[in-house]
Homo-oligomer: A and B are copies of this chain.
Amino acid sequence: MVTIREISKKANVSIATVSKVLNGKPGVSKFTADHVLSIARELNYRPNLNARSLKKGQSQTLGIITEDLTVFNTPDIIDGIDVYCESQGYHYILSNLRLNKRYGNHPDDIDIKECTKLINSLTDTLLSKQVNGIIYIGCHSHAVVPTKYSNEIPFVYAYCYSTNPKIPSVMYDDQKAAFEVTQLLINKGHTHIGVIAGLRESIHTTNRILGYQEALYTNNIPYNPRLTLYGNWERDEGYYLSEELIKAGVTAIFAHNDLMAIGVIDYCNKHGIQVGKDLSLFGFDNREISAYCHPTLSTVSLPLFEIGQHATRLMLDILAGHNIEGGLKIMLPCSIIERESTGLPVSKEKNKSEESHETRS
């Protein structure tokens, strides 16, 4: 390892001078600076960031705790964090809870006590590594486990509704998205719109139903609670619940995620109901599958990358002591993607390849 000491020897200056040059600090002549720089380059010098952060008491590093890295939302959020960090000269360290692997994906299966312990231990490690702040990326609908460290180090929650009003969070706007989906269906002439909701206890479910009701209300359509059925986010549930809705006479279904919407498509295909013609269908999440099923599925695209970026901006603002613009709870809008399942003319779907994600094997 080449150190500034070696550079200073070779350049015949003190290590302080080398340090100044390397950090672009004043108090050294251009001649000397060039000389030092050229030697540093020649020796292939690389600063020891650990030593620097030790001395400065500032690591320029954020910690990221992910509830589960392999869940579809997480990588894009990290991508957003990555880009923003890079632009600001920040680094980050990842820590992964592997919640789904440990407990499966039903909120009731989670052992909160064990989970809290786990989070605390990850947080401890991050603090040991001198991170300046921690971004917590959720993946579940269950309420986030509260942290006891929130006054030791700044926290920002991403992709989850934080229960602690003092902890900032960045989330997408479930209610607004649901409102827009419903409004769109109403604009197409639907008045009997069924909902295949998520788990009853999920805050996503609650907010999406609120948005749905709001749109009905705005358009003077009475809310019929029998047209809102609760599912478990799985495909099969979409399959079975669609039968009930269709028998109740709905002309459109808003499923709270793409997987349940696929179930609806399966049911319809089996029973000769043409989705996109006899029935309009919306999903939620814009999973890859929604672009490949038949008919292709209209859905809601989540601003994952933006959530990552905003969470990071928020964190860096907090660390810099800025007063936080836009408040502590940021809600980002989703975008609505119309495809064949809501009767989009097929021609418009020609260039759907632009929406496909990674395709290489």
Contacts and interface: CB of A to CB of B under 8 A. Distances in A.
Interface of A: 1, 46-51, 53-54, 57, 59, 68-72, 74-76, 78-79, 82-83, 91-94, 96, 98, 100-101, 105, 124-125, 127-130, 139-141, 198, 204, 233-236, 256-259, 262, 266, 269, 284-285, 287-289, 292-294, 353, 356-361
A161 to B, nearest CB: 14
A72 B292 contact: no
A219 to B, nearest CB: 25
Contacts of A285: 361
A361 B233 contact: yes
B289 A234 contact: no
Nearest to A107: B360
A285 to B, nearest CB: 5
A358 B293 contact: no
A235 B292 contact: yes
B292 A50 contact: no
19 contacts: A48-B54, A48-B130, A49-B129, A50-B51, A50-B54, A69-B82, A70-B76, A79-B96, A82-B98, A92-B94, A105-B360, A139-B360, A141-B360, A233-B361, A234-B356, A262-B292, A269-B294, A288-B288, A294-B294
Given A233-B361, A359-B259, A360-B140, A287 B284 contact: no
Given A50-B130, A105-B360, A235-B353, 5 more contacts: A70-B357, A92-B94, A100-B358, A198-B360, A285-B361
A48 B75 CA distance: 29
Contacts of A54: 48, 50-51, 54
A78 to B, nearest CB: 6
A293 B51 CA distance: 54
A47 B139 CA distance: 30
A130 B70 contact: no
Contacts of A124: 46
A269 to B, nearest CB: 7
